[in-house]
Structure formats: C-alpha cells, structure tokens
Structure 1
Amino acid sequence: MRIRSLLLTTLVAQPAFAETFDRPIPQAQSATAETWFALACVLLLASLAAVQWLVNHR
C-alpha cells in the first residue's frame, strides 16, 4: 500500500516539474492590416453619423 501511495504521489507531482511558460511575442501588424483597420474605423464613424442623422430627422 505504501508503494502505491508513493507511486501515486510521484505521478501527481509530475506537473510541478513542467517547464516554465514562455509568453508569446506579439508580431507587428502589416501595412495591409493597418489599412483595413483604418477603413473599418472610418466606416464605423460614418455609420454612427448616419444613425444619428436618421434619429434626429424623425
């Protein structure tokens, strides 16, 4: 019984010996991604302005 408990304790403790977590390094955005993001921002602002115009004219 002692051998089983020793073996079980050893198996449960194995994750403690795992290697440390290395944080991923963020990659820079490409020029294409920045262009699409800028276009999406402009379109969002235009749609918000259109909604406000529609609400004010009702």
Structure 2
Amino acid sequence: MTRSTPPRTYATRGARDGHGIYGAIFTYNHADWYVRKVLDQANAYKAVQQSTP
C-alpha cells in the first residue's frame, strides 16, 4: 500500500499552482479549523523563509 503525503494529496485534489488550496485541504479533512491551522502554519513557514537571507 502506497501512502500519499498531504502535499501530494492536495495537488491531486485541486491545489496546483497555488489555486484551490482551501478546497483541496478541506477535501483531505472536512474541518474548517484544520484547514485554517494548516494555512496559518504554511504562512508562518513562508514568512520565515522570506525573512531569511
């Protein structure tokens, strides 16, 4: 049995090129709080990455 990682799963469910991310994550887990938590964490990673020289 092959397990997909969440990012791969999101991509196959519509989150390609930054579009449809909320819907893809929601398809993976039908909880709004979970989707918001994942997106908040992604934004935090992005902010750190952008501030690192």
Query: Higher RCO, 1 or 2 (CA under 8 Å, sep at least 6)?
Result: 2
TM-score by length of 2: 0.42
Larger radius of gyration: 1
The structure with more helix, counted as a fraction of residues: 1
TM-score by length of 1: 0.38
